[in-house]
Chains A and B, each alone.
Chain A
Amino acid sequence: MSTASSVLLQFLELITALIAAPLLTGWVNQCRAWLGNRSAPPLTQFYRQLAKLFEKEVVLAGNASSLFRAAPYIIFACMVLASTIVPTLSTDLPFGPAADAIALVGIFALARVFTALAGMDIGTAFGTLGARREMLIGFLAEPALLMVFFTTSLISQSTSLSTIVETLGQREFAIYPSLAFAGVAFTMVSLAENARIPVDNPTTHLELTMIHEAMILEYSGRHLALIEWAAALKLYAYSCLGLALFFPWGIPEGTGIFNLLVALPSLAFKLAIGGFLLAAIETVSAKLRIFRAPEFLGTAFILSVLAMLVHLLLEAPK
């Protein structure tokens, strides 16, 4: 294990995440536009938006506290850290041992808490409303996400993401009903966590139905740019996590240049398909009433618990 090259790879993974996250969001928006029979914005639209927002000056409310100014940086840092922990280009990452799957859930929770606090900081009605809804969704989604991780951890006997991905990638072909259940549960959770359509509409302009958007209504300029970028990174991290756990083929263990040549195109290919499927799900489903969201996430929780039980009953070595 050569440390220098794995550090380089870790750095490369960080750069890839920062560059690819806006591209992924742009791709999903493009697919949504195509499926909705509209003319699509260019793939680079998100970059332009970020550049525009970084140039604009920040307008702060009179009673904004320092927490309001600090929150975008904390949220952005959380998402950057999360996307460096998830193995995308290699499983041999120096950051890997720093945080396992459970700590990753904690990082997402930290970002959520700060988004909610910043939403309530100014004291507008919409910010508070969004924060409350976000915490409702979060506290229902988190146990389901943890149960998904526990199922994969039981299969691979480790909570470290690198080990999980390595073990799942190397196994010989076998039908795992538990992984299928966990995959469906994970998809439902990531739809809810990324403010996607069955739970929240990312492109809505109607404040009363907003969840994520309502919390960030007061932000402008570079703060808004950082938050938007963090949201794109979150979507990227969740997509990579899903791909790494349920379609781990193509993630090499070594750090050689040749491995990278395999890893990058396979990642791009899988993300493109995943993004298209996400857009397809969003196009065919309608937004749920907010009071139906607990039922949606309850189903995800039940599925993930069933995944664990089915694993213990059917697949555990006797």
Chain B
Amino acid sequence: MSDNLHLAIPLYAQVINLLAAILLLLSFAMLAQRRILSLINLFMAQGMVLFASTAVVAAATDQHHLYWSALITLVLKVFLLPWILHRLIRRLNVKWDVETLINIPTTMMIGLVLVIFSFNLALPISELAGTITRSTLGIAMAAVMLAFLMMITRSKAVPQVIGFLAMENGLFFAATSATYGMPMVVELGIALDVLVGMVILGVFFFQIREQFDSLDIRHMEKLKDD
């Protein structure tokens, strides 16, 4: 009975598994979070975990280009994007109001179902993959799904954008766990896209608020003035 405890998992794979588990936990924490400020801090923590896991994978598999993607993650997702977001919410003066469309325990339950779904979905795919990190593919998919759920259940613009960024985090983690990362050109392109998208969305925030006096995007569903 104690035989199956002797898992033949090397230490770095264990560390990656642990980081993947923390990533999943952070995704849930973001789903449950009411305040925008903590949401940004959680997003920063997620970037930190992503950086650590990419660096560990790079060290374990001797893939040098992964060091570069780890570095890009660190600069972009731990420092630059949270800094832009912090500045934005200070300028927009929205620190507190996160309004969810469904109440939080229900959202968490839906999230749990999504996690089970994506674990099952990833199981046959990870059988095919030959990487050491293949078992974390399910968690990467779950992180994408949870971020997606967060985008759906939030009605304000800023949490939706954070959900979008968290989704990109999940995709990046999926790429690392399934194939040891994407080619450098693709990665640089995505990083730049996210950055430019963030800047454009930042301008959008101000436009939306100017037009509707609030960041609630449900106002945009009305097509004519009444």
> Which residues of A are in contact with B by a Cβ distance under 8 Å?
155-158, 163, 167, 170-172, 174-175, 177-178, 180-181, 294-295, 298-299, 302-303, 305-306, 309-310, 312-315, 317
Contact = CB atoms under 8 A, between A and B. Distances in A.
Given A180-B21, A302-B28, A167 B112 contact: no
B119 A167 contact: no
B5 A171 contact: yes
Contacts of A155: 5
B119 A314 contact: no
B81 interface: no
Nearest to B122: A313
B6 A310 contact: no
B120 to A, nearest CB: 10
Contacts of B104: 295
Contacts of A181: 21, 25
B135 interface: yes
Contacts of A295: 104-105
Interface residues of B, number: 31
B28 A306 contact: yes
Interface of B: 1-2, 4-7, 9, 14-15, 17-18, 20-22, 24-25, 28, 32, 104-105, 108-109, 111-112, 115-116, 119, 135-136, 138-139
Given A163-B1, A181-B25, A302-B108, A309 B119 contact: yes
A173 to B, nearest CB: 9
A172 B8 CA distance: 11
Contacts of A294: 105
Nearest to A170: B2
A154 B167 CA distance: 31
Contact of B21 (A158, A167, A170, A310): A310
A98 B22 CA distance: 37
Contact of A175 (B18, B28, B135): B18
B105 A313 contact: no
Contacts of A156: 1-2, 5
A200 to B, nearest CB: 20
Contacts of A167: 1-2, 5
Nearest to A163: B1
18 contacts: A155-B5, A156-B1, A157-B1, A163-B1, A174-B9, A177-B20, A177-B22, A295-B105, A298-B105, A299-B108, A302-B108, A305-B112, A306-B21, A306-B115, A309-B116, A313-B135, A313-B138, A314-B136
A60 to B, nearest CB: 42
Contacts of A163: 1
A303 B26 CA distance: 11
A314 B4 contact: no
A314 B32 CA distance: 24
B108 A298 contact: yes
A164 B7 CA distance: 17
Among B14, B28, B104, B136, the one with the most A-chain Cβ atoms within 10 Å of its Cβ is B14
B119 A317 contact: no
A174 B7 contact: yes
- Identify the interface centre among B7, B20, B109: most chain A CB within 10 Å of its CB: B7
Nearest to B9: A174
Contacts of B136: 314
A314 B20 contact: yes
Contacts of A158: 1
